[in-house]
Chains A and B, each alone.
Chain A
Amino acid sequence: MELTHKDVASILAIIDGAQHLDEIELTFSGLRLHVRRGSAGDGGARFAQSAPAAVPQVQAQPQPQAAVQAAPAPLVAAQAAEGEVIIRAPMLGTFYRASSPGEKAFVEVGQKVKAHDSVGVIEVMKLFNSIQAGVDGTVVRIEVENASLVEFDQALIVIAKD
């Protein structure tokens, strides 16, 4: 399933036009599109994919308005719901949910975490960077597959704050 920039733009247009719709999730083979309306009303989209590198990962956003906007529209307008915190990738690399293969995952959905707890590691050329929860709370969602390539700033894990 190939999704073009144009497809995304039309999906965004539909969502933008709908007044009651604030969030939508579409799932295709190996591709998941999750769009949530931001507080300022500007839409943003991000694709997650289950198979690393096999299909091109598309990132899309509405064309910037030619007018007065001072800064580029944020790519991921998707904001955490009330009381939720999104842990984002501080660097590009390979995301692992456990410290080594065969080990238990750092966290699972529903698990309680403390701010300093590790929730995953990102490997950049054999250098492992520990990712910490940053807040006390409960794991709500895990947004990426184990051992997948994550981009800088990609949403990894969503935590509901205590």
Chain B
Amino acid sequence: MSKPPFKRIFIANRGEIAVRIIRACQSLGIESVVAVSTADRDSLAAQMATRAICIGPAAASLSYLKPEALVTAALGTGCEAVHPGYGFLSERASFSRLCSESGLVFIGPSPEAIESMGDKLTAVRLADAAKVPRVPGSDKVTSKEVAEREAKRIGYPFLFKASAGGGGRGMRLVRNSAELAPAMESATAEAQAAFGDSTLYMEKYIESARHIEIQILADAHGNVIHLGERDCSTQRRHQKLIEEAPSPFISDEVRKTLSEAAVRLAQRVDYRGAGTVEFVYDEQTGKAYFLEMNTRIQVEHPVTEMVTGRDLVVEQIRIAAGEPISFSQEEVKVTGHAIECRINAEDAARNFAPGPGRITEWNAPGEKGVRVDSHCYSGYLVPPYYDSLLAKLIVHAEDRDATVKKMLGSLKQFVVRGVPTTIGFHHEVLSHDDFRAGRVNTRWVEEKFFPSRATGHKG
């Protein structure tokens, strides 16, 4: 084996992604030190890593969100690089900067790239400059008068969005002029409270949208490549539930346009590492628009790994060490179809209420073409302090029909006792006619699936 890109990596995350990063380290011959809170001391990641180090109490704000503690721990354990995973500090420019200033390699893009993409309005402007079409919308709106003028130009319905935003916070739907003033007021207040920045902008609301995203990789040698798209249209309240590749919906022409646009944007911000450019695809007009860029590894990255046969986390680590991407654009081939179901510790019958607790039985499926990314095991206590993701079940087969069938079989085999899970919910969704036909947009789960279930529709 060639020389590992680093000797020892610090993992500033928990759960399944910490396990995933440790596996990548193992395959590269790199030692791993994983940060754990007191609630994660007996986690699978802690058992698998070369070493686990307790950085603070259970509350994330006192552990996984503490840049100084993480950097001190990384330095104190002799690590050369820090992998932030997703969530927590992964898209905090100040954390990336603190790592570099402390002599640690941050496995991700520069603070400048994180900053420019983190501020949604800046990102939209950059996309515009890179000729990546944005949703028809405004620049920053400073007054009700400006908003009213822009509303006439953009047309109703539209969304107020927080420039510093994310996760739907500071976002308001405005259907007519009477709703404008109160919506603007509450969005401003929410953005100020959530992000300390009340800057708003406006975007045309796309009624019937699919969520398409392009995976890219960029290295320090000027190579920027894409690895195709993922379709993440199956969502509930803006949270992705099921992701697949390729999209069952878009044409090769749209695929090509979006992939090229994503590469252009990455080049524009001198991007480094793995990133995802998200687009909203308007089913009615057939046009796709830039939504945002995520400057980290994503939860759903395995879908792309399954259809391309490439290891994105390994590439991230190599790129951070200054190595070129280990394959070329021409060598990226998408084979077959892959679907990922996010298995959460939630009770679908009780409005997806999270249900932490002790897992008394954990029996995950496993066969060729079935992958389970998880940190759970029989006897594991799902702590109440963090997100409810238990596992990602990913299935790969020759085409979409075969993949759906295989997923249904794998969901049936997946046995989890002790905590509620969304396994049954996924089985119902994948059995539904609309899903099988690829007729799903981002509002389908709430507007079609749930009502059809209530009336006893047999999918």
Contacts and interface: CB of A to CB of B under 8 A. Distances in A.
Contact of B76 (A56, A73, A94): A94
Contact of B68 (A5, A54, A64, A125): A125
B53 A72 contact: no
A75 interface: yes
B261 interface: no
B41 interface: yes
B55 interface: yes
A66 to B, nearest CB: 4
B184 interface: no
Secondary structure at the B interface, as helix, strand, loop or mixed, is: mixed
A1 interface: no
A92 B379 contact: no
B379 A149 contact: no
Contact of A57 (B31, B42, B53, B63): B53
B23 to A, nearest CB: 18
Given A56-B50, A59-B46, A124 B77 contact: no
Interface in A79-110: 91-94
B38 interface: yes
Contacts of A71: 381
B132 to A, nearest CB: 38
A91 B63 CA distance: 9
Interface stretch (A17-25, A113-121, A134-142, A151-159): A151-159
A39 interface: no
Given A67-B360, A72-B39, A154-B54, A92 B78 contact: no
A52 interface: yes
A64 B379 contact: yes
A121 B308 CA distance: 51
A26 interface: no
A59 B56 contact: no
Contacts of B51: 56-58
Given A151-B54, A152-B54, A152-B57, A61 B360 contact: no
Nearest to B57: A152
Given A72-B39, A75-B41, A53 B68 contact: no
Kindly state the interface size class of chain B when it binds its partner: 35 or more
A66 B55 contact: no
B73 interface: yes
Secondary structure at the A interface, as helix, strand, loop or mixed, is: loop
A153 to B, nearest CB: 6
A52 B102 CA distance: 18
B95 to A, nearest CB: 12
Leading 10 A-B pairs by shortest Cβ distance: A149-B76, A56-B51, A66-B379, A151-B54, A125-B68, A53-B78, A152-B56, A152-B54, A75-B41, A92-B55
A124 B380 CA distance: 32
Contacts of A59: 41, 46, 52, 54
A146 to B, nearest CB: 14
A64 B381 contact: yes
B363 interface: no
Contacts of A40: none
Interface string B64-100: 0000110111001110000000000000000000000
B358 interface: yes
18 contacts: A56-B50, A59-B52, A59-B54, A63-B379, A64-B379, A66-B360, A92-B73, A124-B68, A124-B69, A125-B72, A125-B102, A127-B68, A149-B73, A152-B38, A152-B56, A152-B63, A153-B54, A153-B57
Contacts of B361: 66
Contacts of A61: 41-42
B47 interface: yes
Contacts of B381: 64, 69, 71-72
